[in-house]
């Protein structure tokens, strides 16, 4: 693994960073905040603030991926049988993976903003396909929507991954990522509330009410206008006055070479198994809910499962942002925290499913005595899964040398992650499949990913290379100005 100094040297050789195109002054420590406040209108300062940009991304995460996950979290997409939903999701994540692997050159050419705009248009298509399937039994549209959502969401995910790893100041990355994770889970909470309001009658079997999907589609449409409000990275100002390091645009050929280099880098090679595992659980838990829970029990599960995640993600964020530990030590503490919590959840899940294999509980309702013990593993995995994601993006951003590299690293991680999801849904395409297989495979993947992650975490630099490079450029820029 290269050191911070080596990364900085390599970055200078490969590309000449651009000078921010704004009119605000750029002293040695970034932006002179006093002058910035005097010379720039309030609305523009609010728009350019890194926290505002993170909020805009979080709103999109709430309206798009979170609502999509909420539909998935209904168990088989809330349909009477989960087979077609699992096929659609398997196709979706297969194409999402391909798009992510090719996404960095696309996003760096289009810009983050326009990649988000394109991606935000795909979610209402997926939501409407679930409505058509539930209302009219239209299966081909549901499968086609999986393909469309795979490509569109792939563009959006690559842009989002680069943005969430780039926007935050070095001392607040954990909290910024927690905000993003909470937005993702609030979407599921709202989706669960809508679902529960429309599907609360006891004894109802089959799929959820078709009207539920209309409410989901309306929320998914809201992401589109917020995508237009994203600011270019070079205009973003963080609360400490620092700017984002943005390099000159590269040719498509050079971008493809860079993404190939990223995929073969130690960073991605060591984190690849973790990426494959990180969302592998979704396919199995979707099948688990569809097989063993009533409609209203699934609705209640999708409503209350995000609550603990909110506390957990901000707790991890404070650990990762603490000033009393070095960045490497924070990375180590964060990794072991996430691993221990996941191990506990998967042991519980395997024990529970083993009992179900011996005696099928039928359709569990929320007033059944078995509900609490069978639901709690799902409740906790909805926290440990996002914790694993939040931690990994924090770790990847610790190695970046500029914003574009965050996009490439995020694209590679998201691509591998999507492959894992595609395989997971592929395993669970049959509704009568045994979730125990999925639980055991997921647990095994966690086990084999731990050792490479320990090696990676032990090489975490003490400071983010991009910050070191930006500070040196600002100093050189000020020296040049003083000389003139």
The pLDDT value given to residue 27: 39
DSSP-H helix ranges across 398-463: 403-427, 435-457
Contact (Cβ atoms closer than 8 angstroms) between residue 410 and residue 156: no
CA atoms of 412 and 309, how far apart (whole Å): 25
- Tens-place pLDDT, residues 70-88: 776 565 555 545 577 778 8
In angstroms, the Cα distances linking 451 to 132, 384, 387, 392, 438 are 46, 19, 19, 15, 22
pLDDT at 238 > cutoff 50: yes
Q: H-helix or E-strand containing 351?
A: helix 327-358
Above pLDDT 70, what percent of the chain? 84
* Phi and psi, residue 104, nearest 5°: -60, -50
- Tens-place pLDDT, residues 118-173: 999 998 998 888 888 888 888 888 889 889 988 998 889 888 888 888 888 877 88
Residue found under tokens 């799902």: 378
For the chain, domains (ranges, CATH) are: 4-9+40-231+265-476 (1.20.1250.20)
- Tens-place pLDDT, residues 34-47: 888 888 899 999 99
Please give the mean pLDDT across all residues of the chain: 80
In angstroms, the Cα distances linking 383 to 279, 293, 386, 389 are 12, 20, 6, 10
Whole-structure pTM value: 0.76
pLDDT band at 430 (very low <50, low <70, confident <90, very high): low
Give the list of residues 6+ apart from residue 364 with CB closer than 8 angstroms, or none: 292, 293, 294, 297, 370, 371, 374
Q: H-helix or E-strand containing 335?
A: helix 327-358
Residue 413 structure tokens: 């991680």
The pLDDT value given to residue 53: 94
- Tens-place pLDDT, residues 163-218: 888 888 877 888 888 888 888 777 667 766 776 776 666 655 555 677 778 888 99
- Tens-place pLDDT, residues 311-360: 888 889 888 988 888 999 999 999 999 999 999 999 998 998 898 888 88
pLDDT band at 5 (very low <50, low <70, confident <90, very high): very low
* Phi and psi, residue 459, nearest 5°: -110, 10
CA atoms of 57 and 229, how far apart (whole Å): 9
Residue 284 structure tokens: 């199995």
Q: How far is CA 195 from the centre of its chain?
A: 23
Q: What DSSP line would sit under 220-283, residue for residue?
A: HHTHHHHHTTPPPGGG-B-TTS-B---BPPPPHHHHHHHHHHHHTSHHHHHHHHHHHHHTTHHH
Q: H-helix or E-strand containing 311?
A: helix 306-321
Contact (Cβ atoms closer than 8 angstroms) between residue 266 and residue 396: no
Contact (Cβ atoms closer than 8 angstroms) between residue 91 and residue 99: no
The better pLDDT of the pair 350, 283 is held by 350
Q: Which of 118, 116, 410, 404 is nearest to 255 (CA)?
A: 404
């Amino acid at each position: 693994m290269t050191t911070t100094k080596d990364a900085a040297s390599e970055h200078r050789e490969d590309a000449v960073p651009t000078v921010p195109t704004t009119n605000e002054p750029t002293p040695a420590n970034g932006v002179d905040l006093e002058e910035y406040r005097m010379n720039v209108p309030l609305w523009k300062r609010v728009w350019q603030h890194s926290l505002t940009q993170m909020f805009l991304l979080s709103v999109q995460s709430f309206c798009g991926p979170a609502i999509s996950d909420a539909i998935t979290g209904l168990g088989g997409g809330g349909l009477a049988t989960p087979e077609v939903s699992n096929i659609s999701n398997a196709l979706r994540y297969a194409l999402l993976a391909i798009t992510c692997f090719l996404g960095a050159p696309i996003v760096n050419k289009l810009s983050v903003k326009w990649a988000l705009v394109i991606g935000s248009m795909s979610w209402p298509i997926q939501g409407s396909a679930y409505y058509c399937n539930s209302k009219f039994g239209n299966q081909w549209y549901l499968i086609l929507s999986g393909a469309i959502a795979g490509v569109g969401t792939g563009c959006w995910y690559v842009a989002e991954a680069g943005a969430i790893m780039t926007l935050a100041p070095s001392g607040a990355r954990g909290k910024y990522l927690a905000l993003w994770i909470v937005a993702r889970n609030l979407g599921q909470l709202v989706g669960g509330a809508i679902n529960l309001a429309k599907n609360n009658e006891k004894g109802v079997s089959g799929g959820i009410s078709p009207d539920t999907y209309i409410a989901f589609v309306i929320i998914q449409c809201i992401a589109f206008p917020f995508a237009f409000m994203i600011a270019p990275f070079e205009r973003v100002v963080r609360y400490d006055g620092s700017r984002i390091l943005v390099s000159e645009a590269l040719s498509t050929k050079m971008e493809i070479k860079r993404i190939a280099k990223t995929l073969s880098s130690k960073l991605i090679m060591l984190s690849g198994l973790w990426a494959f595992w990180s969302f592998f659980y979704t396919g199995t838990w979707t099948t688990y809910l569809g097989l063993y829970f009533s409609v209203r029990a699934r609705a209640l599960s999708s409503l209350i499962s995000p609550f603990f995640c909110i506390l957990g993600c901000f707790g991890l964020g404070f650990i990762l942002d603490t000033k009393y530990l070095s960045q490497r030590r924070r990375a180590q503490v964060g990794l072991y925290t996430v691993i221990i919590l996941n191990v506990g959840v998967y042991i519980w899940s395997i024990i529970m499913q083993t009992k179900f294999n011996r005696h099928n509980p039928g359709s569990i309702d929320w007033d059944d005595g078995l509900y609490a013990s069978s639901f709690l593993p799902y409740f906790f995995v909805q926290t440990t899964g996002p914790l694993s994601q939040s931690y990994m993006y924090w770790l990847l951003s610790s190695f970046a040398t500029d914003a574009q590299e965050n996009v490439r690293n995020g694209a590679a991680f998201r691509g591998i992650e999507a492959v894992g999801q595609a395989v997971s849904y592929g395993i669970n395409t049959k509704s009568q499949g045994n979730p125990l297989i999925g639980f055991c495979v997921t647990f095994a993947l966690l086990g084999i990913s731990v050792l490479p992650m320990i090696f990676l975490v032990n090489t975490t630099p003490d400071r983010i290379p991009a910050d070191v490079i930006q500070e040196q450029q600002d100093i050189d820029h000020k020296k040049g100005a003083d000389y003139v």
